[in-house]
Structure 1
Amino acid sequence: MSAGRVRQPWRAIRNGCVSEFVIPALGTGVAGWGDKQTGYGTSHTREDILQTYRLCLDSGLNFFDTAEPYEASERLLGECRKVDGRPILIASKFAPPLTRFSRKRSLLEALDQSLERLSVESIDLYQIHWPSPRLKIDELMDALAEAVHAGKVRAVGVSNYSAPLMRQAHARLARYGIPLASNQVRYNLLHRYPETNGVLDACRELHVALIAYSPLEKGILTGKYRGKGTPAPRQLNIFHRLDPFGDTRGSVPALQRLLSTPRVLQRERLEPLFVVLEEIAHAHAKTIAQVALNWLLMKDEHIIPIPGAKNRRQASENAGALGWSLTEEEHACISQAEVAIR
Structure 2
Amino acid sequence: MLQVDQRQLGNTGIRVPALGVGIWSWGEKGFWGYGKSYTREDVTQAYQACLAAGLNFFDTAEVYGNGESERILGECLRQDGQPILIASKFAPLPTRLSAKALLTALDKTLERLGVSTIDLYQIHWPYTFLSIDALMDALAEAVRAKKVRAVGVSNYNAQQMRQAHARLARYGIPLASNQVHYSLLHRKPEANGVLDVCRELQVTLIAYSPLEQGLLTGKFRPGVEQLRPAFPRSLQKAYRSNELEKMEPLFQVLERAAQAHDKTVGQVALNWLLNKDSLIIPIPGAKTQKQAQQNAEALGWRLSSEEQAEIAKAAEKWVK
TM-score of the superposition, structure 1-length normalised? Answer: 0.87
Q: Is the 2:183–2:210 Cα contact (8 Å) retained in structure 1?
A: yes
Q: Does 1:91 find its partner at 2:87? A: yes
Q: Which residue of 2 aligns with 1:116?
A: 111
Unaligned stretches of 5+ residues in structure 2 = none
- Residue 316 of structure 1 corresponds to 293
Match runs of 1:1-342 below 5 Å: 5-8=5-8, 10-12=10-12, 20-37=13-30, 38-70=32-64, 71-101=67-97, 103-228=98-223, 230-233=225-228, 238=233, 266-341=243-318
Structure 1: tracts of 5 or more residues without a match = 13-19, 242-259
- C-alpha RMSD over aligned residues: 2.1
Q: Residue type of the partner of 2:244?
A: R
Question: How many residues align structurally?
Answer: 313
1:244 aligns to what? none
Q: Distance in 2 between matches of 1:339 and 1:308?
A: 25
Q: State the distance in 1 between where 2:207 and 2:240 align.
A: 20
How has the CA–CA distance of structure 1 residues 331 and 22 changed in structure 2, closer, same or farther, with 3 Å as cutoff?
Answer: same
Cα deviation for residue 10 of structure 1 reads 4.9
In the TM superposition, residue 5 of structure 1 has moved relative to its aligned partner by: 4.7
Distance verdict in 2 for CA 1:232–1:45, change over 3 Å: closer
Q: Which amino acid aligns with 2:87?
A: A
- The one-letter code sitting in structure 2 at the alignment partner of 1:124 is D
1:257 is matched with: none
Q: 1:323 to 1:264 in 2, by over 3 A?
A: farther
CA change 1:34–1:221 in 2 (3 A) is same
State the AA in 2 paired with 1:214.
S
Compared with structure 1, are the counterparts of its residues 231 and 223 closer, same or farther at alpha carbon in structure 2 (3 Å cutoff)? same
Question: What is the rounded CA distance, in whole Å, between the counterparts of 1:230 and 1:9 in structure 2?
Answer: 37
- Asked whether the equivalents of residues 9 and 176 of structure 2 are also in contact (C-alpha less than 8 Å), the reply is no
Q: Do the aligned residues in 2 keep the contact of 1:163 with 1:199 (CA within 8 Å)? A: yes
The letter for the 2-side match of 1:213 is Y
Deviation of 1:133 after TM superposition, in Å, equals 3.2
Report the secondary structure of 1:188's partner residue: coil
Measured at CA, do residues 336 and 33 of structure 1 come closer, stay the same or move farther in structure 2, by a change above 3 Å? Answer: same
TM-score (structure 2 length as normaliser): 0.92
Tell me, yes or no, if the aligned pair for 1:215 and 1:293 is still in contact at 8 Å. yes
Q: Determine if contact 2:23/2:60 at 8 Å carries over to the other structure.
A: yes
Deviation at 1:21, TM superposition (A): 2.2
Q: C-alpha distance in 1, partners of 2:233/2:139?
A: 32
1:134–1:264 Cα change, 3 Å: farther
What is the aligned partner in structure 2 of residue 254 from structure 1? Answer: none
Superposition deviation, residue 90 in structure 1: 0.1
Q: What is the CA distance between 1:39 and its match in structure 2? A: 3.0
Deviation at 1:47, TM superposition (A): 1.9
**How much has 1:132 moved relative to structure 2?**
2.6
- Which whole-Å CA distance do the structure 1 matches of 2:23 and 2:36 have between them? 17
Alpha-carbon separation, structure 2, partners of 1:196 and 1:332: 17
3-state SS of paired residue (1:157)? strand
Kindly indicate whether the alpha-carbon contact (under 8 Å) linking 1:273 and 1:341 is maintained by their aligned counterparts in 2: no
Whether contact under 8 Å (1:25, 1:304) holds in the other structure is yes
Name the amino acid aligned to 2:8. Q
